[in-house]
Amino acid sequence: MSVRNSVVVTAFFILLFSASHASAELYRWVDRDGQEFFTNERSKVPQEYQRTARPVKTDDSRVSVGEKPARPHSPAVEVKEHRDRNGRNEAWWHRRAESQRLELRKFEDELDLLVKKEQDQEKNASRASVKKKKSSAAHDRKKLQLEKKIAQAKRRLEVDLPEEARKADAYPGWLRE
């Protein structure tokens, strides 16, 4: 290869690299509504924002092209799963909260069934009034018991369990559905 050819090839590569670097520059501007915009051509920046548009420094180490994976931005750090003071994890607390919710739903369903049964009996009022009074008293007692169980279950779910989780240093989100 002659000197002239090597000069031409070198000039070609210099032009190629300088052109690719210039086209890769990004510009950023913010409009009067606070919305952020980006473009790779300064001429596309609206005239009123030309003075405020700033070049954005790109970080090629975070870009992945084709099959080549991006280089990690920082050294890989192993994330350790958080556990509470007693060694219990999110799954344990989630199961615990779910069992409390199921118990509450069971009591609420029983109460709904009892109320519906009571309403059906009122519709069929042709029965003897003595049977109705005995049945009504039993329904009222059962209804009161269920309302008490519902109140207790709600307290366990909404007050006691979150307090227990707080004391154990469990995240509050672990109790949510």
Mean pLDDT confidence for 95-120: 91
Burial class (CB in 10 A: 0-12, 13-18, 19+), 77: exposed
Mean pLDDT confidence for 144-170: 93
The identity of residue 122, as a single letter, is: E
What pLDDT sits at residue 20? 47
Listed residue (106, 92, 113) closest to 154, CA to CA? 106
Mean pLDDT confidence for 103-107: 95
Which 3 state secondary structure label does DSSP give 56? strand
Q: What is the pLDDT of residues 13-59, one digit of tens each?
A: 665 555 444 446 888 888 888 788 888 888 888 988 888 888 887 76
Using DSSP bridges, classify how beta strands 36-39 and 54-56 pair: parallel, antiparallel or unpaired. Answer: unpaired
Contact between 51 and 45 (Cβ < 8 Å): no
Residue 5, C-beta contacts closer than 8 angstroms, at least 6 positions apart: none
Mean pLDDT confidence for 152-175: 91
Q: What is the pTM of this model?
A: 0.51
Residue 49, C-beta contacts closer than 8 angstroms, at least 6 positions apart: 29, 30, 31
Residue with structure tokens 């989630």? 94
Mean pLDDT confidence for 78-84: 80
The band of 133, judged by pLDDT with boundaries at 50, 70 and 90, is: low
Contact between 153 and 100 (Cβ < 8 Å): yes
The band of 100, judged by pLDDT with boundaries at 50, 70 and 90, is: very high
Q: CA distances (Å), 157 to each of 2, 86, 149, 166, in order?
A: 85, 20, 12, 13
The band of 111, judged by pLDDT with boundaries at 50, 70 and 90, is: very high
Domain ranges of the chain: 3-58, 90-175
How many whole angstroms separate alpha carbon 118 and alpha carbon 122? 6
Q: What is the mean pLDDT of the chain?
A: 79
Listed residue (70, 48, 66) closest to 58, CA to CA? 70
Residue 167 in tokens: 């004391």
